[in-house]
Amino acid sequence: MIRVQDLSKHYGAKPVLDIDALDLPKGGVAAIIGPNGAGKSTLLSLISRLDTPSAGSVLLDGDDIRSLKSDALARRLAVLRQDNALTARLTVRDLVAFGRYPYSRGRLTATDQAKVDEALGLVGLDGFEDRFLDELSGGQRQRAFIALVLAQDTDYALFDEPLNSLDINHAVAVMRLLRRAADELGKTVVVVLHDLNFAARHADHVIAMQAGRVVHTGTVPEVIRAELLKPLYGMDINVSTIDGRLIVDVFG
Ligand SMILES: Nc1ncnc2c1ncn2[C@@H]1O[C@H](COP(=O)(O)OP(=O)(O)OP(=O)(O)O)[C@@H](O)[C@H]1O
Ligand SMILES: [Mg+2]
């Protein structure tokens, strides 16, 4: 379980995150939703120690993440950032191999190689191993970064808008992949999503954020409800059930 306690982040006097308590249960897929600027990426950065909080703590299966060595944390939790600005000229294989660094420190074993190949296969990038990242399309590059997280083979995997730049086919494939990681491998997947239909279809839990706070948490039917989503986004939103599936319609 990831436990967030009294966590806050300020930039100068400006508070951008303020969460009294939030538990992300072990196992399953949790979707974080909410408008631009709600604090979703800030929360993921604090949970993964990419950023330091102004106050409060994050516990990973009972361990305060501040007490963990970098390698130990990286063997337990991996994160895909929202902006993967990377200037180095790397091949796809070199990038994904970084996911094995916490285990092998750069000397890849046969197991590491196999994990890299497996991750590349899972995102459908076999055959692209030797391409440089700047020779890929935006969606292919995004999938290479998803493969990097998968290769890290951690119990907890956090993804900040992993569907960015993906066509609908690959978006569905990535969500199914995350679902399988949870169902078959027992991983805990936390994913920031803007597409509420993807959240409704593929997540177990939904965390709704607004103005730096968690405003709703619960199962999909508990949170994906028009009366909660309308004020969250300030829009006319309709939620219906078709063949047992929740469908979110947005009227612009
Ligand atoms: N370095 C910074 N300095 C000042 N304010 C910042 C900084 N980084 C983020 N913020 C502010 O923190 C708030 C939360 O940002 P965050 O990136 O967590 O939002 P988000 O929910 O991920 O939004 P999006 O959907 O656009 O990705 C925003 O108001 C943003 O402007
Ligand atoms: Mg963000």
Q: Residues 148-196: pLDDT tens digits? A: 999 999 999 999 999 998 999 999 999 999 999 999 889 999 999 999 9
- My answer on whether 52 and 105 are in the same domain is no
Distance 107 CA to ligand 1 centre (A): 37
Q: Considering the domain boundaries, does residue 232 fall inside one?
A: no
How many angstroms separate the alpha carbon of residue 95 from the centre of ligand 1?
27
Strands (E), the chain: 2-11, 14-24, 28-33, 55-60, 63-64, 77-80, 156-160, 188-192, 205-210, 213-219, 236-242, 245-251
Residue 211 lies in domain: 1-76+154-225
**Are residues 210 and 144 both part of a single domain?**
no
- For residues 9 and 110, membership in a common domain is answered with no
| Whole-number Cα distances in Å, 33 to 142, 175, 196 | 20, 15, 8
Look at residues 110, 130, 153 and tell me which one is the last residue of a structural domain: 153
114 CA → ligand 2 middle, Å: 32
Mutating to test ligand 1, I would choose from 9, 16, 50, 207 the residue with most ligand atoms within 8 A of its C-beta, which is 16
**Do 168 and 135 fall into the same domain?**
no
19 Cβ closer than 6 Å to some ligand 1 atom = no
- From residue 96, alpha-carbon distances to 57, 92, 116, 142 in Å are 30, 6, 6, 12
Residue 63 phi/psi, 5° resolution?
-95, 130
Q: Which pLDDT does position 83 carry in this prediction?
A: 86
What's the CA gap between 195 and 154, in Å, rounded? 25
- Residue at 230 is within a domain: no
Write the pLDDT tens digit of every residue in 50-88.
999 999 999 999 999 999 999 999 999 999 999 877 767
* Same domain, residue pair 142 and 96: yes
Residues 68 and 29 in one domain: yes
Is position 24 within any domain?
A: yes
Contact 37 CB / ligand 1 (< 6 Å): yes
